[in-house]
Amino acid sequence: MKKYEWRKQDKDLYLPKSKPSIIKVESMKYLTLVGAGNPNCEPFKTAVEALYSLSYAIKMIHKKGNPPEGYFDYVVFPLEGVWDLDEEGRKLNYLEKDHLVYKLMIRQPDFLTEALFLSIVDDVKKKKPNPMHNKIKFEEIEEGLCLQMLHIGSYDEEERSFTQMAKYCEENGFTRVDKRHREIYISDLRKTDPAKLKTVLRIQVKTDE
């Protein structure tokens, strides 16, 4: 079977245009990890490493023989994060990154089950210990009706894209469900010029009654 590549098969989810558009996002499986604080600090890096170590272990499970039912080869999905502010951060009229709260996640293939997830966690803990492994959960998440666009540039410049998204909502009869937003990191921050970073920005919306 041909390898499943999200850049090709799921362009609507991961490679939208650089202008706002509406999409309905169905239920999908994820590894998730909740955290708080500045994403430039060590705990965030440790959390990302924990998610990727498990994600790659799941991808390579067939190497041990007797692959799980429904297994197929695929490219590991990109890192995502749902971002918000704590109560103190919401009181400020500027962004203070120390007050950020987040839910990091990496989408998983349909063949992953809770039992398989738990067995892989135990195995990875022994081979690649990480204090964040115990915080990772296996979830199914349905975002539903969303507005999204591809932001090209630094993370610190995302406000210009959110301004476009807010204008689209106002002109087309949509309202944000809440203040959270999702970021999907298409580019590798370590290898990409900040001006060329590609990030999907997505918010949940509802139609105005």
Reported residue count of the chain is 209
37-50 pLDDT, tens digit per residue, is 999 999 999 999 99
Give me Rg for the CA atoms of the chain.
Answer: 18
d(CA 37, CA 101): 6
Please report which residue ranges of the chain form alpha helices under DSSP H.
Answer: 6-9, 11-14, 42-59, 87-91, 114-127, 159-172
Residue 97 has, within 13 A of its CA and on its CB side, a CA count of 7
d(CA 94, CA 188): 27
> How does residue 63 score in pLDDT terms, banded at 50, 70 and 90?
confident
Q: Are 183 and 81 in contact (CB under 8 A)?
A: yes
Q: Are 44 and 38 in contact (CB under 8 A)?
A: yes
d(CA 42, CA 38): 9
Tokens of 177: 């469900």
d(CA 22, CA 32): 25
Q: Are 62 and 141 in contact (CB under 8 A)?
A: no
> How does residue 22 score in pLDDT terms, banded at 50, 70 and 90?
very high
pTM summary value = 0.95
Q: Which of the pair, 119 or 189, is modelled with greater confidence?
A: 119
d(CA 92, CA 81): 22
For β-strands 28-36 and 137-141, DSSP reports them as antiparallel
The pLDDT of residue 208:
77
Q: Are 138 and 33 in contact (CB under 8 A)?
A: no
